[in-house]
Amino acid sequence: MVSVNKGEWDRSKGYDFVNDFNYQWLKEVRNKLKENGTIWISGTFHNIFSIAQMLNELEFKILNVVTWVKTNPPPNLACRCFTHSSEIIIWARKNKKVPHYYNYELMKEINDGKQMKDVWNLPAIAPWEKSCGKHPTQKPLGVLSRIVLSSTQPNAWILDPFTGSSTTGIAANLLNRRFLGIDQEIEFLEMSKRRREEINSLAIFEEYKQKIQGFKDKKQLTEYLLFEPSVEYGQELPF
């Protein structure tokens, strides 16, 4: 049995507050995004519709609404509705007119040569991903790796303003991208640091890359990364 109490940050303060909060943070990150940059936002039905509305108000262009289907969801103990077994993830680009990057070929390759669909069958988080402590809503590296690989190139800067245990950052660094994370809870930032320090070990770095779900076999990701075309970015922090 898992507690559904995720903390004070997850308690709703009403529609107007939620809409205003979403508008403000999306406006801030939009200012920091490159003109050809994209944003991924996951959320539950409690706030994802507000997010979609605010994205439209801020002139983002929604590219996809991805459904992550958990292949091993926890059971619904109350038995009063369907088992919650999916999460919605919106992908949007900053500018309606400026093209974005999409690694079409890689997505096809990891989907047995067929176009990758907007329904992703990936397992929920595995015990090895919690080696540095527990975050109540920690995402699996399999989901974040697909997001990072499909929409960024090596050396890109990735920002997660609600970083939690920094799964985005761990995926980014395992995949040769740079990362900046923000969270209001010091406890989660400490956990993020522990996770980052853990992959300073080359053995663990390589082991984790092989364990990430969503690839044909253990070698596919490592082999792909060896030859992934790189892009020159400045050394300075873009944020």
Contact positions vs ligand SAM (CB under 6 A) = 9, 135, 137-139, 162, 164-165, 167, 182-185, 188
CB of residue 138 vs ligand SAM: minimum separation in angstroms?
Answer: 4
Nearer to ligand SAM, 7 or 36 (CB): 7
Nearest to 63 by CA among 105, 95, 30, 85: 95
Q: Which CB atom, from 103 or from 166, has the smaller least distance to ligand SAM?
A: 166
* Phi, psi dihedral angles at 139 (to 5 degrees): -90, 155
Min dist. Cβ of residue 145 to ligand SAM (A): 12
Rounded distance between C-alpha atoms, residue 121 and residue 105, angstroms: 19
> 119: number of CA atoms within 13 Å, CB side?
4
Looking at the Cβ atoms of 8 and 236, the one nearer to ligand SAM is 8
CB of 137 to ligand SAM, least distance (A): 4
Phi and psi torsions of 79, nearest 5°: 60, 35
Helix, strand, coil percentages (3-state) for the chain, rounded to 5, are 40, 15, 45
CB of 209 to ligand SAM, least distance (A): 18
Indicate the residue among 9 and 104 with the shorter CB distance to ligand SAM.
Answer: 9
Q: Which residue is nearest to ligand SAM (CB)?
A: 164
